[in-house]
Every structure is written in structure tokens, then in C-alpha cells.
Copies of this chain bind each other. A is one copy, B any other.
Amino acid sequence: MFVIVTYDVEVKRINKIRKKLKEYLVWTQNSVFEGEITKGKLDRCLNELTKIMKENIDSLYIYKVENPKHIKKDIYGQEKSFDDMFL
């Protein structure tokens, strides 16, 4: 399946959340990860993420598309790469 993960978390947890997501998916833009993943891996990823985040403060959305052919991505302007974040 194809997933898009967007998150809005307190600054002090951003690096930990980002580091964990990077183990499973591709960073694509500020607070956005995407990629193909199995259900098993996604469950594991979410299990680990929910241990990091503070559910009463932080926000994390998972958009899931079973068949990757059912989603198309158009890019306007720059396609960001992970390194852009550390320039």
C-alpha cells in the first residue's frame, strides 16, 4: 500500500518522530513522509511513533491507499530532498 504521513508535533519531538519515520518511509517535504509499505511494517512504525508522540498535544495523520496506482502526485516548484532540511 502507499501511504502519506503528515505530522504536527511539538518542536522537542520533531527530530525523534522524523528519525523514526525515516526508517520506514521517504521524507518528501517539511512534516510529510510518503512511500510504499506493508501493513505489518506500518503497524510496527505506528506502534513506535505512538510511544514517542504525546497524543494529547501532537497530531499525526496517515493517508492510506491500498493500490499505489490509485494515487498520483504532481509537484509544483521545487522537489525537496531530505538534505534540503539541513542546508
Contacts and interface: CB of A to CB of B under 8 A. Distances in A.
Contact of A53 (B8, B71, B76): B76
Q: How large is the interface on A (under 10, 10 to 19, 20 to 34, 35 or more residues)?
A: 35 or more
A59 B71 contact: no
B70 A65 contact: yes
A38 interface: no
A8 B54 CA distance: 24
Contacts of A79: 59
Contact of A29 (B50, B54, B61, B74): B61
Contacts of A67: 70
Interface of A: 4, 6-9, 28-32, 46, 49-50, 53-67, 70-80
